[in-house]
Structure 1
Amino acid sequence: MNILITAGGTSEKIDTVRSITNHSTGRLGKEIGELFLAQGHRVTYITTPQAVQPTKESNLTIIEIDSTKELETTLLEQFDHQKFDGIIHSMAVSDFTTETTLSEDLFIEKLAAKLTADGHLPDATDLRETLYRSLDEIGKTIQQEKKIPSGTDRLLLFLKKNPKIIAMLRKQQPHAVLVGFKLLVGVSTEELIRVGQSILIKNNCDLVLANDLEEIQGSHHKGILIDALGQTETAQTKKEIAQLIVKKVEEKWRNQ
């Protein structure tokens, strides 16, 4: 099989020295990748410089990215020249990316200028519309400083929503066995399964691995693998999760 795996966590730049990221280490993706390789499959592994990576070998291609936009571009490039039999989308993708950053003083200055541009303050309805419009315009302010000065008491960071990478995978690779991932925090098993099923249906996945951050500690990593029929299987470690995913993907591919 020709397998694509995404792993690690994307990073969104604030300036040239600061960024927003998450705590994903890529250890589960590494475990899955190495098991696919041990089974004789080819693996294209898209990850981040900070994440752990599988041991290099001839059937493994590693591609490093940083941001969600770079991930999207890299995936589309890969889809342009090869077909994948399985896609394991385990990467923790940032929901938002930075739009611009302003000091408190600069933000107030810009907002005051926008609100008083017509020479009067509008009524409550007009004020809300003006505020939304002003925030949209201020958000498009071009970041001038390569490194944001640290002298300001309060820093305003404008974020905009990233595209959902998982939403494009089925359209781009309609015949691949697609495995999605969903991480929640402090929910019941029933809620974890319910949300996992909704992700599976919404993105037309074959399987979704649902896990709870509170159930990931050291060698313990509880994961619930959900299939398109709503059936579930539970694993208790990263190794068990990897074994379960590889087995199910191979079975699904053989039965297509």
Structure 2
Amino acid sequence: MLSGKTIVVGVCGGIAAYKAAALCSKLSQAGADVRVIMTESAVQFITPLTFQSLTRKPVAVDTFDEKEAAVISHIDLADRADLVVVAPATANMIGKMAHGLADDMLSTTLLATTAPVMVAPAMNVHMYTHPAVADNMRVLQERGVLFVEPGTGQLACGYVGQGRLAEPEEIFARIAAYFQPDTPLQGRNVLVTAGGTVERIDPVRYITNDSSGKMGYAIAEAAKRLGANVTLVSGPSALPVPAGVERISVTSALDMYDKVMARFEKTDLVFKAAAVADYRPAEQREQKMKKSGETLTIELVKNPDILQALGEAKTRQFVVGFAAETERVDEYAQGKLLRKKCDLLVANDVSMQGAGFGTDTNVVRIFDAGGLVEAPPMMTKAAIAEHIVRLAASRQQMRQQGAETPEPDAEEPGADKGETPCSPK
């Protein structure tokens, strides 16, 4: 499937370098012309001979070890590449890429290539979450660099957490998908809401929630990868905007309502993943409120219910809602789906370990008008996002082809809780 494609694989120094050998083997078996560049540190973990044996091509390590007088090696490799894959990618190499440094064969080639770049990080969990590393990855994402998220589990250093290099099969699948894109949403307009909203009390105080936006941003990225034209209406969030996605920043529930409703008519699918505040202060003070007693009463008024407005206004659109609960998840989720006239509703118990606000994993239950559709196991939010987007795309296609889908019952089980904050972002 990769016949005729030249893939340059950069291998950095880390115990996960052994997985790069399996990846190169799979790429070669798929017909790719695989060219390997190793850092000096990588050679301490696995030998160049291993990669040469698997690819039947010489392995580059030293920038100044020019084997062919007719070409400059790093420029030749940079020009040949249809894709450059860095796996494993260390924090050091990610930093070099972000800041344009070129002091070895791999970083020099990366700076010289105009081919797309895919990065599969591998490092200690604390290194992976360090603000400097996170910021470097954000910069690279904004430049269009593709990332294969590391897995969670036992690390070589003894820690348990996120930082394991993705399995060779997963990296290979991402590479294959890049060259043979699976785009069920090609040409469709997708609207995603994400993050929490901020309801001002005065210039220095406000009401908000714990949403980070991670789930919504993952959905936006998945929809874009599957071919959609994606608009992301986001509350305040520090997350990088996925490449190719249009972000519209909002602050309050009223802001989000206006921006979403203005775009709804031209939208095909909506993923309403934002955690919208149910209420806002009846009065927003222009000046800072001063202490004046032992108690303070603030009157709140109800915000417009964006999800319900979408459900009632939809004609051809497919609407996916989200609900975060702490008890009676199935009952409340099914009730919300029917009240809001959603086509699908994704619910989770935010009190569960690994499924709360701000986590990188999630555990969801997916409902339609007929009841529970799926209950996938715990996965990364990126994996769950793609699963949800694919399911919604499939359901909408079935509807367009005239297949029957369950219609909501008149009864509405569960208490009306208004616009419940969505699954953790």
| Over 3 Å off, 4+ runs | 150-153, 217-220
Match of 1:72 among 251, 257, 261: 257
Q: Does 2:344 align with 1:207?
A: yes
Q: Does 2:239 align with 1:239?
A: no
Q: CA deviation at 1:219?
A: 3.5
Distance in structure 1 (CA, Å) of the matches to 2:394 and 2:272: 18
Distance in structure 2 (CA, Å) of the matches to 1:208 and 1:51: 26
Distance in structure 2 (CA, Å) of the matches to 1:183 and 1:210: 6
1:7-18 maps to which residues of 2 (within 5 A)?
A: 7-18=194-205
Structure 1 residues 226 and 144: CA distance shift in structure 2, 3 A: closer
Give the counterpart letter for 1:211 in structure 2.
Answer: N
Q: Does 2:209 align with 1:26?
A: no
- Counterpart for residue 97 of structure 2: none
Contact 2:201–2:285 (Cα < 8 Å) also in 1: no
Q: Alignment partner of 2:322: what SS?
A: strand
Q: Does 2:247 align with 1:62?
A: yes
Distance in structure 2 (CA, Å) of the matches to 1:7 and 1:94: 12
Q: Normalising to structure 2: TM-score of the pair? A: 0.46
Larger strand share, 1 or 2: 1
Structure 1 residues 55 and 178: CA distance shift in structure 2, 3 A: same
Q: Does 2:282 align with 1:99?
A: yes
Distance in structure 2 (CA, Å) of the matches to 1:228 and 1:51: 35
Structure 1 residues 88 and 148: CA distance shift in structure 2, 3 A: same
Q: Deviations over 1:188-243 (max 9, x none)?
A: xxx21121111111111110001111121544311101122213212312133212
Choose 1 or 2 for highest CA Rg.
Answer: 2
Q: Normalising to structure 1: TM-score of the pair? A: 0.75
> Which stretch shows the higher mean deviation, 218-227 or 60-69?
218-227
- Counterpart for residue 220 of structure 1: 361
Identity %: 31
1:157-196 maps to which residues of 2 (within 5 A)?
A: 157-185=298-326, 187=327, 191-196=328-333
Q: CA deviation at 1:151?
A: 5.3
Contact 1:47–1:63 (Cα < 8 Å) also in 2: yes
Contact 2:319–2:342 (Cα < 8 Å) also in 1: yes
Give the counterpart letter for 1:47 in structure 2.
Answer: S
1:80-159 maps to which residues of 2 (within 5 A)?
A: 82-100=265-283, 145-150=286-291, 152-159=293-300
Structure 1 residues 144 and 219: CA distance shift in structure 2, 3 A: closer
Across the aligned residues of Structure 1 and Structure 2, the Cα RMSD in angstroms comes to 1.8
For these two proteins, the number of residue pairs brought into alignment is 206
Q: Deviations over 1:31-66 (max 9, x none)?
A: 111011111111010001235243232xx2111111
Distance in structure 1 (CA, Å) of the matches to 2:303 and 2:318: 24
More relative contact order in 1 or in 2 (CA 8 Å, sep 6+)?
A: 1
- Counterpart for residue 132 of structure 1: none
Q: CA deviation at 1:87?
A: 0.4
Distance in structure 2 (CA, Å) of the matches to 1:63 and 1:90: 15
Distance in structure 1 (CA, Å) of the matches to 2:361 and 2:261: 35
Structure 2 unaligned regions, length at least 5: 1-187, 401-425
Q: Does 2:179 align with 1:36?
A: no
Q: Does 2:237 align with 1:50?
A: yes
Q: Deviations over 1:77-129 (max 9, x none)?
A: 223xx5211000010010110013xxxxxxxxxxxxxxxxxxxxxxxxxxxxx
Q: Alignment partner of 2:282: what SS?
A: strand
Structure 1 unaligned regions, length at least 5: 101-142
Distance in structure 2 (CA, Å) of the matches to 1:2 and 1:18: 36
